[in-house]
Structure 1
Amino acid sequence: MALTWEDAVCGLDPNERYGLAFSGGCDSSFLLAAMCRAGLDVKAYMVMTAFQAPFELDDARRVVEEVGAEFELMRADVLSQKDVCANPPDRCYLCKRFIFGEVLAAMGRDGRRVLLDGTNASDDPARRPGFRALAEMGVRSPLRDAGFTKENVREASRAIGLSTADKPNFSCFATKVSEGQRIDRASLEAAAHALGMELCL
Protein backbone atom coordinates (compact mmCIF):
# COMPACT_ATOMS: atom_id res chain seq x y z
CA MET A 1 0.00 0.00 0.00
CA ALA A 2 1.30 3.46 -0.94
CA LEU A 3 2.35 5.75 1.86
CA THR A 4 0.37 8.98 2.20
CA TRP A 5 0.99 12.38 3.72
CA GLU A 6 -0.91 11.23 6.83
CA ASP A 7 1.69 8.48 7.34
CA ALA A 8 4.47 11.07 7.34
CA VAL A 9 3.10 12.85 10.41
CA CYS A 10 1.53 9.99 12.35
CA GLY A 11 4.32 10.00 14.95
CA LEU A 12 4.23 13.75 15.65
CA ASP A 13 2.67 15.37 18.70
CA PRO A 14 -0.18 17.77 17.87
CA ASN A 15 0.63 19.74 21.03
CA GLU A 16 4.29 20.35 20.14
CA ARG A 17 5.73 23.46 18.47
CA TYR A 18 8.12 22.26 15.77
CA GLY A 19 10.90 23.81 13.75
CA LEU A 20 11.80 22.33 10.37
CA ALA A 21 15.23 22.67 8.77
CA PHE A 22 13.94 23.56 5.32
CA SER A 23 15.88 23.46 2.07
CA GLY A 24 13.15 23.69 -0.55
CA GLY A 25 14.08 20.21 -1.74
CA CYS A 26 11.72 17.32 -2.34
CA ASP A 27 11.89 15.80 1.15
CA SER A 28 11.65 18.81 3.45
CA SER A 29 9.00 20.34 1.18
CA PHE A 30 6.84 17.23 1.44
CA LEU A 31 7.26 17.06 5.21
CA LEU A 32 6.31 20.73 5.54
CA ALA A 33 3.23 20.22 3.36
CA ALA A 34 2.16 17.15 5.34
CA MET A 35 2.54 18.97 8.66
CA CYS A 36 0.55 21.95 7.42
CA ARG A 37 -2.21 19.65 6.15
CA ALA A 38 -2.32 17.97 9.56
CA GLY A 39 -2.67 21.33 11.31
CA LEU A 40 0.58 20.91 13.23
CA ASP A 41 2.40 23.94 14.64
CA VAL A 42 5.50 24.14 12.44
CA LYS A 43 7.77 26.89 11.20
CA ALA A 44 10.18 26.36 8.31
CA TYR A 45 13.68 27.76 8.77
CA MET A 46 15.90 28.09 5.72
CA VAL A 47 19.59 28.91 6.11
CA MET A 48 21.09 30.22 2.86
CA THR A 49 24.87 30.16 2.46
CA ALA A 50 27.36 30.53 -0.37
CA PHE A 51 27.20 26.76 -0.81
CA GLN A 52 23.67 26.84 -2.26
CA ALA A 53 22.36 27.75 -5.68
CA PRO A 54 19.93 30.70 -5.94
CA PHE A 55 17.17 28.49 -7.38
CA GLU A 56 16.92 26.69 -4.03
CA LEU A 57 15.52 29.85 -2.44
CA ASP A 58 13.10 30.37 -5.33
CA ASP A 59 11.82 26.81 -4.91
CA ALA A 60 11.52 27.20 -1.15
CA ARG A 61 9.47 30.39 -1.43
CA ARG A 62 7.14 28.72 -3.93
CA VAL A 63 6.52 25.75 -1.62
CA VAL A 64 5.90 27.98 1.38
CA GLU A 65 3.31 29.89 -0.65
CA GLU A 66 1.72 26.64 -1.86
CA VAL A 67 1.25 25.20 1.61
CA GLY A 68 0.75 28.40 3.60
CA ALA A 69 3.58 27.75 6.05
CA GLU A 70 5.30 30.09 8.46
CA PHE A 71 8.79 30.72 7.10
CA GLU A 72 12.02 32.41 8.12
CA LEU A 73 15.00 32.94 5.85
CA MET A 74 18.41 33.29 7.46
CA ARG A 75 21.65 34.09 5.67
CA ALA A 76 24.74 32.60 7.28
CA ASP A 77 28.39 33.25 6.48
CA VAL A 78 29.70 29.72 6.03
CA LEU A 79 32.91 31.08 4.51
CA SER A 80 33.80 32.43 7.96
CA GLN A 81 33.78 28.87 9.34
CA LYS A 82 37.44 27.88 9.09
CA ASP A 83 36.90 24.24 10.00
CA VAL A 84 34.28 23.81 7.28
CA CYS A 85 36.26 25.68 4.66
CA ALA A 86 39.38 23.62 5.30
CA ASN A 87 37.32 20.95 3.48
CA PRO A 88 38.27 17.91 5.58
CA PRO A 89 36.68 14.47 5.11
CA ASP A 90 34.01 15.34 7.70
CA ARG A 91 33.11 18.69 6.12
CA CYS A 92 29.43 17.71 5.81
CA TYR A 93 29.28 16.93 9.52
CA LEU A 94 30.86 20.26 10.43
CA CYS A 95 28.59 22.14 8.04
CA LYS A 96 25.46 20.42 9.35
CA ARG A 97 26.40 21.39 12.91
CA PHE A 98 26.84 25.00 11.81
CA ILE A 99 23.54 25.11 9.88
CA PHE A 100 21.49 23.34 12.53
CA GLY A 101 23.06 25.52 15.19
CA GLU A 102 21.71 28.57 13.35
CA VAL A 103 18.25 27.01 13.14
CA LEU A 104 18.22 25.97 16.80
CA ALA A 105 19.19 29.50 17.86
CA ALA A 106 16.27 30.94 15.85
CA MET A 107 13.91 28.31 17.25
CA GLY A 108 14.97 29.23 20.76
CA ARG A 109 13.97 32.82 20.12
CA ASP A 110 10.61 31.59 18.83
CA GLY A 111 9.95 29.23 21.72
CA ARG A 112 10.13 26.11 19.55
CA ARG A 113 11.80 23.06 21.03
CA VAL A 114 11.88 20.16 18.56
CA LEU A 115 13.90 20.38 15.34
CA LEU A 116 12.93 18.17 12.40
CA ASP A 117 14.59 17.54 9.06
CA GLY A 118 13.68 15.81 5.80
CA THR A 119 16.03 12.82 5.94
CA ASN A 120 14.31 9.81 4.38
CA ALA A 121 14.76 6.05 4.59
CA SER A 122 16.80 5.94 1.36
CA ASP A 123 19.54 8.10 2.89
CA ASP A 124 22.50 5.91 3.85
CA PRO A 125 24.26 6.91 7.10
CA ALA A 126 27.49 5.33 5.82
CA ARG A 127 27.54 7.82 2.92
CA ARG A 128 26.14 10.84 4.77
CA PRO A 129 28.52 12.22 7.43
CA GLY A 130 25.83 14.70 8.43
CA PHE A 131 23.94 11.90 10.19
CA ARG A 132 26.29 12.22 13.15
CA ALA A 133 25.36 15.89 13.53
CA LEU A 134 21.66 15.01 13.51
CA ALA A 135 22.15 12.50 16.32
CA GLU A 136 24.31 14.82 18.40
CA MET A 137 21.91 17.74 18.10
CA GLY A 138 18.72 15.76 18.73
CA VAL A 139 17.24 16.35 15.28
CA ARG A 140 14.27 14.13 14.46
CA SER A 141 13.59 12.76 10.96
CA PRO A 142 9.87 11.85 10.68
CA LEU A 143 10.11 10.62 7.09
CA ARG A 144 12.86 8.18 7.95
CA ASP A 145 11.01 7.10 11.10
CA ALA A 146 7.88 6.39 9.03
CA GLY A 147 9.81 4.38 6.44
CA PHE A 148 9.47 6.86 3.55
CA THR A 149 11.98 6.19 0.78
CA LYS A 150 12.77 8.88 -1.77
CA GLU A 151 10.32 7.30 -4.20
CA ASN A 152 7.63 7.17 -1.49
CA VAL A 153 8.17 10.89 -0.93
CA ARG A 154 7.88 11.62 -4.64
CA GLU A 155 4.71 9.53 -5.03
CA ALA A 156 3.03 11.12 -2.01
CA SER A 157 4.09 14.59 -3.21
CA ARG A 158 2.50 13.97 -6.61
CA ALA A 159 -0.68 12.81 -4.91
CA ILE A 160 -1.08 16.20 -3.22
CA GLY A 161 0.12 18.21 -6.23
CA LEU A 162 3.33 19.53 -4.65
CA SER A 163 5.60 21.36 -7.10
CA THR A 164 8.75 19.65 -5.80
CA ALA A 165 7.50 16.09 -6.43
CA ASP A 166 9.93 15.51 -9.28
CA LYS A 167 12.60 18.00 -8.30
CA PRO A 168 16.04 16.47 -8.93
CA ASN A 169 18.52 16.08 -6.09
CA PHE A 170 21.17 18.80 -6.12
CA SER A 171 24.35 18.62 -4.05
CA CYS A 172 25.71 21.90 -2.74
CA PHE A 173 28.59 23.66 -4.49
CA ALA A 174 31.03 22.60 -1.76
CA THR A 175 30.72 18.97 -2.87
CA LYS A 176 32.23 20.00 -6.22
CA VAL A 177 35.44 21.20 -4.54
CA SER A 178 38.01 18.45 -4.13
CA GLU A 179 38.49 17.22 -0.57
CA GLY A 180 41.37 19.05 1.08
CA GLN A 181 41.20 21.98 -1.34
CA ARG A 182 40.26 25.12 0.54
CA ILE A 183 36.70 26.26 0.03
CA ASP A 184 36.57 29.98 -0.70
CA ARG A 185 34.69 32.29 -3.00
CA ALA A 186 36.97 31.50 -5.93
CA SER A 187 36.61 27.72 -5.66
CA LEU A 188 32.84 28.00 -5.22
CA GLU A 189 32.55 30.32 -8.21
CA ALA A 190 34.49 27.81 -10.29
CA ALA A 191 32.16 25.02 -9.17
CA ALA A 192 29.08 27.11 -9.91
CA HIS A 193 30.44 28.19 -13.31
CA ALA A 194 31.04 24.56 -14.29
CA LEU A 195 27.34 23.95 -13.62
CA GLY A 196 26.23 27.06 -15.50
CA MET A 197 25.10 28.75 -12.27
CA GLU A 198 25.90 31.70 -10.05
CA LEU A 199 26.69 31.93 -6.35
CA CYS A 200 24.09 33.17 -3.89
CA LEU A 201 26.16 35.64 -1.87
Structure 2
Amino acid sequence: MGPQVIDEVLKHASRITALLAEMREISVAVSGGIDSVTLAMLATQTPNITVQMYHAVSPAVPSQATARVKQLARDYGWKLKILDAHEFADEDYLSNPVNRCFYCKTNLYKAISTVTEDVILSGANVDDLSDYRPGLDAAKNAQVRHPFVETHTDKRMVRDIAKSIGLGELSELAASPCLSSRVETGIRIDPELLPLINESERLIKQSVSPEPKTVRCRLRATGIVIELDGGSLSSLTTQKESALKGIINGVFEKRGYCYPVSFEAYKLGSAFIHIQPVHTHPL
Protein backbone atom coordinates (compact mmCIF):
# COMPACT_ATOMS: atom_id res chain seq x y z
CA MET A 1 0.00 0.00 0.00
CA GLY A 2 1.23 3.48 -0.86
CA PRO A 3 1.41 6.30 1.73
CA GLN A 4 -1.88 7.83 0.58
CA VAL A 5 -3.71 4.51 0.82
CA ILE A 6 -2.18 3.77 4.22
CA ASP A 7 -3.35 7.16 5.47
CA GLU A 8 -6.89 6.47 4.23
CA VAL A 9 -6.90 3.04 5.86
CA LEU A 10 -5.69 4.39 9.20
CA LYS A 11 -8.32 7.13 9.15
CA HIS A 12 -11.00 4.57 8.42
CA ALA A 13 -9.76 2.34 11.25
CA SER A 14 -9.89 5.35 13.57
CA ARG A 15 -13.55 5.91 12.72
CA ILE A 16 -14.28 2.33 13.67
CA THR A 17 -12.41 2.50 16.98
CA ALA A 18 -14.15 5.79 17.77
CA LEU A 19 -17.48 4.03 17.31
CA LEU A 20 -16.35 1.16 19.53
CA ALA A 21 -15.22 3.61 22.21
CA GLU A 22 -18.77 4.98 22.41
CA MET A 23 -20.11 1.53 23.28
CA ARG A 24 -17.87 1.09 26.34
CA GLU A 25 -18.67 -2.60 27.03
CA ILE A 26 -18.73 -4.94 24.04
CA SER A 27 -18.82 -8.61 23.16
CA VAL A 28 -17.48 -9.67 19.77
CA ALA A 29 -18.74 -12.82 18.05
CA VAL A 30 -15.54 -14.18 16.50
CA SER A 31 -15.97 -16.91 13.90
CA GLY A 32 -12.31 -17.06 12.91
CA GLY A 33 -12.83 -15.35 9.55
CA ILE A 34 -10.96 -12.19 8.66
CA ASP A 35 -13.92 -9.88 9.28
CA SER A 36 -14.60 -10.86 12.88
CA VAL A 37 -10.89 -11.28 13.62
CA THR A 38 -10.15 -7.77 12.39
CA LEU A 39 -13.02 -6.37 14.43
CA ALA A 40 -11.73 -8.20 17.51
CA MET A 41 -8.26 -6.75 16.94
CA LEU A 42 -9.61 -3.21 16.57
CA ALA A 43 -11.65 -3.65 19.74
CA THR A 44 -8.57 -4.85 21.61
CA GLN A 45 -6.69 -1.74 20.47
CA THR A 46 -9.48 0.64 21.54
CA PRO A 47 -8.65 2.30 24.89
CA ASN A 48 -11.03 2.61 27.83
CA ILE A 49 -13.48 -0.12 26.83
CA THR A 50 -14.02 -3.66 28.07
CA VAL A 51 -13.97 -6.37 25.43
CA GLN A 52 -15.00 -10.02 25.57
CA MET A 53 -14.64 -12.37 22.60
CA TYR A 54 -17.02 -15.30 22.04
CA HIS A 55 -16.36 -18.20 19.70
CA ALA A 56 -18.92 -20.95 19.17
CA VAL A 57 -17.80 -24.51 18.47
CA SER A 58 -19.89 -27.21 16.79
CA PRO A 59 -19.55 -29.77 14.01
CA ALA A 60 -20.28 -26.95 11.53
CA VAL A 61 -17.25 -24.90 12.59
CA PRO A 62 -13.99 -25.91 10.88
CA SER A 63 -11.45 -27.04 13.47
CA GLN A 64 -8.83 -24.78 11.91
CA ALA A 65 -11.05 -21.73 12.57
CA THR A 66 -11.25 -22.61 16.26
CA ALA A 67 -7.49 -23.20 16.41
CA ARG A 68 -6.91 -19.81 14.76
CA VAL A 69 -9.13 -17.99 17.26
CA LYS A 70 -7.46 -19.68 20.25
CA GLN A 71 -4.00 -18.85 18.91
CA LEU A 72 -4.92 -15.20 18.34
CA ALA A 73 -6.34 -15.02 21.85
CA ARG A 74 -3.03 -16.28 23.23
CA ASP A 75 -0.95 -13.99 21.01
CA TYR A 76 -2.91 -10.81 21.70
CA GLY A 77 -4.27 -11.41 25.18
CA TRP A 78 -7.94 -11.59 24.24
CA LYS A 79 -10.51 -12.46 26.86
CA LEU A 80 -12.04 -15.42 25.04
CA LYS A 81 -14.97 -17.62 25.95
CA ILE A 82 -15.66 -20.76 23.93
CA LEU A 83 -19.31 -21.76 23.89
CA ASP A 84 -21.80 -24.12 22.29
CA ALA A 85 -24.64 -22.27 20.57
CA HIS A 86 -26.72 -25.51 20.54
CA GLU A 87 -27.86 -25.07 16.95
CA PHE A 88 -27.64 -28.86 16.57
CA ALA A 89 -30.47 -29.18 19.07
CA ASP A 90 -32.66 -26.98 16.86
CA GLU A 91 -34.82 -28.94 14.42
CA ASP A 92 -35.35 -25.82 12.30
CA TYR A 93 -31.60 -25.68 11.75
CA LEU A 94 -31.12 -29.40 11.20
CA SER A 95 -33.83 -29.54 8.53
CA ASN A 96 -31.64 -27.22 6.45
CA PRO A 97 -34.14 -24.77 4.98
CA VAL A 98 -32.89 -22.03 2.68
CA ASN A 99 -32.76 -19.66 5.67
CA ARG A 100 -30.81 -22.12 7.85
CA CYS A 101 -28.36 -19.33 8.74
CA PHE A 102 -31.19 -17.48 10.48
CA TYR A 103 -31.56 -20.33 12.97
CA CYS A 104 -27.80 -20.70 13.38
CA LYS A 105 -27.31 -17.02 14.22
CA THR A 106 -30.44 -16.92 16.37
CA ASN A 107 -28.96 -19.68 18.53
CA LEU A 108 -25.53 -18.03 18.56
CA TYR A 109 -26.76 -14.63 19.72
CA LYS A 110 -29.08 -16.24 22.26
CA ALA A 111 -26.13 -18.18 23.70
CA ILE A 112 -24.02 -15.02 23.97
CA SER A 113 -26.82 -12.89 25.40
CA THR A 114 -27.45 -15.41 28.19
CA VAL A 115 -23.96 -14.79 29.58
CA THR A 116 -23.54 -11.06 28.97
CA GLU A 117 -25.48 -7.82 28.85
CA ASP A 118 -22.80 -6.16 26.70
CA VAL A 119 -23.47 -4.92 23.20
CA ILE A 120 -22.93 -7.86 20.85
CA LEU A 121 -20.97 -7.10 17.69
CA SER A 122 -20.60 -8.99 14.43
CA GLY A 123 -18.03 -8.62 11.67
CA ALA A 124 -20.57 -8.14 8.87
CA ASN A 125 -19.42 -5.58 6.30
CA VAL A 126 -21.32 -3.57 3.68
CA ASP A 127 -20.63 -6.13 0.93
CA ASP A 128 -22.70 -8.63 2.92
CA LEU A 129 -25.80 -6.46 2.58
CA SER A 130 -26.19 -7.19 -1.13
CA ASP A 131 -26.02 -10.96 -0.62
CA TYR A 132 -28.67 -13.34 0.71
CA ARG A 133 -27.82 -13.30 4.42
CA PRO A 134 -30.70 -14.50 6.63
CA GLY A 135 -28.29 -14.38 9.57
CA LEU A 136 -28.56 -10.59 9.40
CA ASP A 137 -32.26 -10.90 10.22
CA ALA A 138 -31.35 -12.88 13.33
CA ALA A 139 -28.83 -10.18 14.24
CA LYS A 140 -31.50 -7.52 13.91
CA ASN A 141 -33.83 -9.46 16.19
CA ALA A 142 -31.06 -9.74 18.78
CA GLN A 143 -30.07 -6.04 18.46
CA VAL A 144 -26.58 -7.02 17.34
CA ARG A 145 -24.52 -4.15 15.93
CA HIS A 146 -22.26 -4.24 12.88
CA PRO A 147 -19.47 -1.64 13.21
CA PHE A 148 -18.17 -2.25 9.69
CA VAL A 149 -21.62 -1.64 8.25
CA GLU A 150 -22.14 1.43 10.41
CA THR A 151 -18.85 2.90 9.13
CA HIS A 152 -19.46 1.86 5.49
CA THR A 153 -16.54 -0.57 5.51
CA ASP A 154 -16.33 -3.06 2.64
CA LYS A 155 -14.38 -6.31 2.45
CA ARG A 156 -11.37 -4.77 0.71
CA MET A 157 -11.08 -2.14 3.43
CA VAL A 158 -11.39 -4.82 6.12
CA ARG A 159 -8.43 -6.63 4.56
CA ASP A 160 -6.43 -3.41 4.28
CA ILE A 161 -7.12 -2.59 7.92
CA ALA A 162 -6.12 -6.12 8.93
CA LYS A 163 -2.81 -5.67 7.15
CA SER A 164 -2.25 -2.23 8.70
CA ILE A 165 -2.75 -3.50 12.27
CA GLY A 166 -0.30 -6.35 11.91
CA LEU A 167 -2.33 -9.39 10.89
CA GLY A 168 0.01 -10.05 7.97
CA GLU A 169 -0.92 -13.05 5.81
CA LEU A 170 -4.19 -13.43 7.68
CA SER A 171 -5.34 -10.25 5.94
CA GLU A 172 -5.80 -12.32 2.77
CA LEU A 173 -7.46 -15.26 4.53
CA ALA A 174 -9.87 -16.88 2.10
CA ALA A 175 -13.56 -16.89 2.95
CA SER A 176 -14.68 -20.16 4.52
CA PRO A 177 -18.36 -20.26 5.51
CA CYS A 178 -19.59 -22.82 8.01
CA LEU A 179 -19.49 -26.44 6.92
CA SER A 180 -23.30 -26.70 6.84
CA SER A 181 -23.22 -24.29 3.90
CA ARG A 182 -21.73 -27.15 1.85
CA VAL A 183 -24.96 -29.15 2.19
CA GLU A 184 -27.63 -28.57 -0.42
CA THR A 185 -30.82 -26.97 0.82
CA GLY A 186 -33.32 -29.54 2.03
CA ILE A 187 -30.76 -32.26 2.82
CA ARG A 188 -30.75 -32.76 6.58
CA ILE A 189 -27.64 -31.56 8.37
CA ASP A 190 -25.70 -34.56 9.65
CA PRO A 191 -23.16 -33.63 12.36
CA GLU A 192 -21.17 -36.80 11.60
CA LEU A 193 -20.77 -35.77 7.97
CA LEU A 194 -19.50 -32.22 8.38
CA PRO A 195 -16.00 -33.07 9.67
CA LEU A 196 -15.61 -35.38 6.65
CA ILE A 197 -16.41 -32.48 4.35
CA ASN A 198 -13.77 -30.40 6.12
CA GLU A 199 -11.22 -33.23 5.91
CA SER A 200 -11.91 -33.70 2.20
CA GLU A 201 -11.27 -30.02 1.48
CA ARG A 202 -8.05 -30.13 3.50
CA LEU A 203 -6.77 -33.20 1.68
CA ILE A 204 -7.58 -31.73 -1.73
CA LYS A 205 -5.62 -28.59 -0.89
CA GLN A 206 -2.67 -30.78 0.09
CA SER A 207 -2.96 -32.99 -3.00
CA VAL A 208 -3.27 -30.39 -5.76
CA SER A 209 -0.27 -28.28 -6.72
CA PRO A 210 -0.25 -25.36 -6.77
CA GLU A 211 -2.71 -25.25 -3.90
CA PRO A 212 -6.18 -24.28 -5.18
CA LYS A 213 -7.39 -20.79 -4.34
CA THR A 214 -10.86 -22.17 -3.64
CA VAL A 215 -12.09 -25.63 -2.66
CA ARG A 216 -15.64 -26.56 -1.70
CA CYS A 217 -16.83 -30.08 -0.98
CA ARG A 218 -20.57 -29.92 -1.63
CA LEU A 219 -23.13 -32.54 -0.66
CA ARG A 220 -25.95 -32.52 -3.17
CA ALA A 221 -28.82 -34.86 -3.95
CA THR A 222 -26.65 -36.24 -6.76
CA GLY A 223 -23.66 -36.96 -4.52
CA ILE A 224 -20.41 -35.22 -3.61
CA VAL A 225 -19.39 -32.35 -5.88
CA ILE A 226 -15.92 -30.89 -5.51
CA GLU A 227 -15.84 -27.29 -6.67
CA LEU A 228 -12.48 -25.75 -7.56
CA ASP A 229 -11.45 -22.37 -8.85
CA GLY A 230 -11.24 -22.27 -12.64
CA GLY A 231 -7.46 -22.50 -12.87
CA SER A 232 -7.21 -25.51 -10.58
CA LEU A 233 -10.09 -27.30 -12.29
CA SER A 234 -8.68 -26.80 -15.78
CA SER A 235 -5.29 -28.18 -14.69
CA LEU A 236 -6.71 -31.48 -13.43
CA THR A 237 -5.70 -34.41 -15.57
CA THR A 238 -7.94 -37.47 -15.84
CA GLN A 239 -5.40 -39.39 -13.77
CA LYS A 240 -5.31 -36.70 -11.05
CA GLU A 241 -9.09 -36.46 -10.94
CA SER A 242 -9.32 -40.22 -10.49
CA ALA A 243 -6.77 -40.10 -7.67
CA LEU A 244 -8.69 -37.32 -5.90
CA LYS A 245 -11.92 -39.29 -6.19
CA GLY A 246 -10.15 -42.19 -4.47
CA ILE A 247 -9.00 -39.93 -1.64
CA ILE A 248 -12.48 -38.47 -1.13
CA ASN A 249 -14.18 -41.87 -1.28
CA GLY A 250 -11.75 -43.08 1.35
CA VAL A 251 -12.70 -40.24 3.71
CA PHE A 252 -16.42 -40.90 3.50
CA GLU A 253 -16.38 -44.69 3.23
CA LYS A 254 -14.42 -45.14 6.46
CA ARG A 255 -17.47 -43.65 8.25
CA GLY A 256 -19.98 -45.70 6.28
CA TYR A 257 -20.97 -43.11 3.66
CA CYS A 258 -20.89 -43.81 -0.07
CA TYR A 259 -21.42 -41.10 -2.67
CA PRO A 260 -20.52 -40.62 -6.32
CA VAL A 261 -17.91 -37.87 -6.69
CA SER A 262 -17.72 -35.28 -9.47
CA PHE A 263 -15.88 -32.01 -10.11
CA GLU A 264 -17.21 -28.59 -11.12
CA ALA A 265 -16.09 -24.98 -11.25
CA TYR A 266 -16.61 -23.08 -8.00
CA LYS A 267 -19.84 -21.13 -7.78
CA LEU A 268 -20.67 -18.96 -4.78
CA GLY A 269 -23.55 -20.38 -2.74
CA SER A 270 -24.24 -23.23 -5.14
CA ALA A 271 -25.55 -25.46 -2.34
CA PHE A 272 -28.45 -23.06 -1.79
CA ILE A 273 -31.50 -23.69 -3.94
CA HIS A 274 -34.78 -21.80 -4.31
CA ILE A 275 -33.13 -18.64 -3.00
CA GLN A 276 -35.26 -15.55 -2.75
CA PRO A 277 -34.26 -12.56 -4.90
CA VAL A 278 -31.26 -10.73 -3.51
CA HIS A 279 -32.24 -7.67 -1.53
CA THR A 280 -30.51 -5.13 0.64
CA HIS A 281 -30.92 -5.77 4.35
CA PRO A 282 -32.13 -2.70 6.27
CA LEU A 283 -29.95 -2.53 9.36
- Assess same fold via TM > 0.5: yes
- The letter for the 2-side match of 1:182 is R
TM-score (norm 1): 0.88
Unaligned stretches of 5+ in structure 2? 204-250, 252-283
- The letter for the 1-side match of 2:46 is A
Cα deviation for residue 180 of structure 1 reads 0.5
Matched residue, 1:192: 198
When residues 192 and 16 of structure 1 are mapped into structure 2, their CA distance, relative to the original with a 3 A threshold, is same
For residues 146-168 of structure 1, the C-alpha deviation after alignment (integer angstroms, 9 at most, x for no partner) is 11111101111111111531111
Matched residue, 2:72: 63
Matched residue, 1:22: 30
When residues 98 and 141 of structure 1 are mapped into structure 2, their CA distance, relative to the original with a 3 A threshold, is same
Matched residue, 2:97: 88
Mapped pair 1:105 → 2:103? no
Mapped pair 1:115 → 2:115? no
Q: CA-atom RMSD, angstroms?
A: 2.0
Unaligned stretches of 5+ in structure 1? none
- The 10-residue stretch of structure 1 (1-10 or 53-62) with the greater mean CA deviation from structure 2: 1-10
CA contact (8 A) 1:177 1:187 kept: no
Matched residue, 2:9: 3
Matched residue, 1:176: 182
Report the 3-state secondary structure (helix = DSSP H, G, I; strand = E; otherwise coil) of the residue aligned with 1:92.
Answer: helix
Report the 3-state secondary structure (helix = DSSP H, G, I; strand = E; otherwise coil) of the residue aligned with 2:114.
Answer: helix
When residues 189 and 14 of structure 1 are mapped into structure 2, their CA distance, relative to the original with a 3 A threshold, is closer
What does 1:28-177 align with in structure 2 at a 5 Å threshold?
28-39=36-47, 40-107=49-116, 112-163=117-168, 164-177=170-183
C-alpha distance in structure 2 between counterparts of 1:175 and 1:146, whole Å:
28
C-alpha distance in structure 2 between counterparts of 1:25 and 1:126, whole Å:
17
C-alpha distance in structure 2 between counterparts of 1:72 and 1:194, whole Å:
29
When residues 180 and 153 of structure 1 are mapped into structure 2, their CA distance, relative to the original with a 3 A threshold, is same
- The 10-residue stretch of structure 1 (74-83 or 171-180) with the greater mean CA deviation from structure 2: 74-83
- The 10-residue stretch of structure 1 (123-132 or 34-43) with the greater mean CA deviation from structure 2: 123-132
**Residue identity (%):** 23
CA contact (8 A) 1:50 1:78 kept: no
For residues 45-70 of structure 1, the C-alpha deviation after alignment (integer angstroms, 9 at most, x for no partner) is 11111101100011101222333221
Matched residue, 2:20: 12
Please identify the structure whose Cα radius of gyration is greater: 2
For residues 139-193 of structure 1, the C-alpha deviation after alignment (integer angstroms, 9 at most, x for no partner) is 0001111111111011111111115311111011101111001111344245334
Cα deviation for residue 78 of structure 1 reads 2.9
Count of aligned pairs: 194
- The letter for the 2-side match of 1:136 is N
C-alpha distance in structure 1 between counterparts of 2:134 and 2:23, whole Å:
32
When residues 15 and 158 of structure 1 are mapped into structure 2, their CA distance, relative to the original with a 3 A threshold, is closer
- The letter for the 1-side match of 2:166 is G
Q: Which has the higher contact order (CA 8 A, sep 6+)?
A: 1
- The 10-residue stretch of structure 1 (48-57 or 61-70) with the greater mean CA deviation from structure 2: 61-70
TM-score (norm 2): 0.64
